Amino acid sequence: MGGALALTLGALAYPAMLGLDTVSTTGDRVIANTQWGPLTESERDFVVKVRAAGLWEHPLGQIGLQKGQSKAVKIASQHLVDGHAALDTSCRKIAPMLNITLPNVASPQQEGFVTQLKGESGRQFDVDFANILRMTHGSIFNTIAKVRSTTKNTLIRALANQANDTVLDHITVMEKTGLVDFDTTVFNQTTPPKLPKSDTTPPNPVPGQPQVVLNPPPNPTSKPLDLNAP
């Protein structure tokens, strides 16, 4: 990969790009006791940020379907649209049950990715698309596992299961493009830069604004949570 790509990823890459920061012990404070189990600050943020992830990755998948040059990039784009539409439905189902307010816009950092890739074309688009998304998904993989392994809330546990499956799928399809620079990706996952929290936090929704819905593709293969399942 060229130096320009390495610089771009090095300057921007870290877990919050996907919309989820690393869960820390400071988020373990219980903020609500619900019929599904206690809800912690970290778990509330997890739902918010899974929603935020879809708000930039779903439209980016739609862009990839139009601009992607290789078949593998187009397939990866289909997986983004499909997976995040289902995750978004799940977030919008459980958020009101847990009294969680969801954003309608991704973070400034995430919106910056969309703007960047909108301005690219040809092979540059394919390469940056695959590397940015492989890196952001790889960065958050362990965080999802921590939420899944520590939560006492059944709704959060179910969402973490779905997020884990979706992120692993997206990691896999990005790797199958053959465009991922693993040296740069691993370095950026393990050596994240420090940026202002305001750049990585999705803004609160405007009061009275209709909730944004991420529509599934025709014949979707991913399914949202079935809250009626035993």
pLDDT at 19: 42
Q: How far apart (Å, rounded) are the C-alpha atoms in residues 208 and 206?
A: 6
Contact call for residues 77 and 130 (beta carbons, < 8 A)? no
C-alpha 83, offset from chain centre? 10
Q: What local confidence, expressed as pLDDT, does residue 227 receive? A: 86
Longest dimension (CA), the chain: 52
The per-residue pLDDT for range 143-197, each reduced to its tens digit, is 899 999 999 999 999 999 999 999 999 999 999 999 999 999 888 878 877 889 8
> What is this structure's pTM?
0.87
Predicted pLDDT of residue 22: 40
With a cut of 80, say whether residue 9 has pLDDT above it.
Answer: no
Q: Which is more confident, 72 or 23?
A: 72
pLDDT for 119 equals 96
Nearest CA-CA partner of 129 in 114, 108, 110, 141: 114
Q: Are strands 30-34 and 37-40 parallel, antiparallel or unpaired?
A: antiparallel
H helix intervals, the chain:
3-12, 41-67, 71-97, 108-118, 122-150, 154-175, 182-190, 197-200
Closest CA to 160 of 80, 114, 94, 229: 94
Backbone dihedral angles phi then psi of residue 182, each to the nearest 5 degrees: -70, -35
* Mean pLDDT confidence for 87-108: 96
Which of 2-16, 85-99, 123-137, 179-193 is predicted least confidently? 2-16
Most confident of 1-5, 11-15, 162-166, 183-187: 162-166
Residues 105-131, mean pLDDT to the nearest whole number: 95
pLDDT of residue 27: 78
- Tell me the average pLDDT across 198-209: 91
